[in-house]
Structure 1
Amino acid sequence: MPVRFKTCLLIDDNYIDNFVTRKILESGNFAETIVVHQSPTEAIEALQNGSVVPDVIFLDIRMPQMSGFEFLHEFEKIHMENKEAVKIFMLSSSLDPTDMSKSTQNKYVAQFIHKPLTHQALEELIA
């Protein structure tokens, strides 16, 4: 299976979730490079300074320093090439309908996905 994307950024404060998601992305040949940040603040810095230029972002909603929605607010302020082309997938264990609704209403969010990411969900994303 060919690689689908050049760079994937994974933002989640949970090490185990990152480990599992990364393994699924790697085994699904999803991206050439997978960059993981447990801190959304560090991810914003990496985007601002250009050290990470993702095609796809998997973003958790509930994180202690900065929520996924706060990240999206900061992401909007960043000046980067092709920002509109970046696909952001909210990857969350939240069952709150407000989170799902708020996710789908954001212009940068392509889809809300329930954790854990599965091979089936990944296949549906790239179908």
Structure 2
Amino acid sequence: MKRYEGLEAILLVDDDLPTNFIHNKVIQKVVADAAVKSITNVQEALDFITYSGIYENTSEIPRPGVIFLDINMPGLNGWDFMNAYDQLDKRFKARLIIIMLSTSPDPEDKKQALMDKGVVTFLNKPLRPEMVTAVLDNYFKEIL
């Protein structure tokens, strides 16, 4: 397991509970000392990163350095998240890495995700340990 400078937490945004469970376990195999939070809808995820809604007055809870964001969710989806995210104050976006996830075979999803300036990469689900390691090694400095 690795430790990364400045990575206190990782956020999973996916409506599928089994997927969140599996991704949580994969991340825990790779990363030491980072909290993993799973949220099943876009509005709650936005509230979490902006300390609003049910997350008002929760500044003691570590906020993510990385978000693994599913594209296809009922109601608001990953694209809706990114549209709202683009409108957020910069203080909520500082050092936040967003990775779009999907099981979709549609190449247009990947193309659209990579065109969004807030998305650093697009990955196909399910996450595997080497995928998580590659992303974190690319954007965070490992603590030896």
> Is the pair's TM-score, using the shorter chain for normalization, greater than 0.5?
yes
Which has the higher Rg, Structure 1 or Structure 2? 2
| Deviation for aligned residue 1:31 | 5.6
What is the aligned counterpart of 2:66 among 41, 44, 56?
Answer: 56
Change in CA separation of 1:97 and 1:39 when aligned onto 2, cut-off 3 Å: same
| Deviation for aligned residue 1:32 | 1.1
Q: Which residue of 2 aligns with 1:35?
A: 37
Q: Which residue of 1 aligns with 2:127?
A: 117
Whose RCO is larger (CA < 8 A, sep 6+)?
A: 2
Tell me if the contact between 1:25 and 1:31 (Cα under 8 Å) persists in the aligned partners: no
| Deviation for aligned residue 1:24 | 0.3
Using structure 1 for the length normalisation, give the TM-score. Answer: 0.90
| Deviation for aligned residue 1:53 | 2.6
Q: Which amino acid aligns with 2:118?
A: Y
Q: Which residue of 1 aligns with 2:17?
A: 15
Gaps of 5+ in 1: none
Using structure 2 for the length normalisation, give the TM-score. Answer: 0.80
4+ runs of 1 displaced by more than 2 Å?
Answer: 50-53
| Deviation for aligned residue 1:82 | 6.0
Gaps of 5+ in 2: 53-57, 138-144
| Deviation for aligned residue 1:71 | 0.4
Alpha-carbon distance in 1 for matches of 2:11, 2:119 = 14
Alpha-carbon distance in 2 for matches of 1:22, 1:121 = 13
| Deviation for aligned residue 1:85 | 2.3
Q: Which residue of 2 aligns with 1:73?
A: 83
- Between 8-17 and 72-81, the greater mean CA deviation after superposition: 72-81
SS in 1 for 2:34: strand
Percent same amino acid among aligned pairs? 28
Q: Which residue of 1 aligns with 2:111?
A: 101
| Deviation for aligned residue 1:30 | 5.9
Alpha-carbon distance in 1 for matches of 2:92, 2:48 = 16
SS in 2 for 1:125: helix
- Between 58-67 and 83-92, the greater mean CA deviation after superposition: 83-92
Let me know the Cα RMSD of the aligned residues: 1.8
1:3 pairs with 2:15:
no
Question: Number of residues paired by the alignment?
Answer: 127
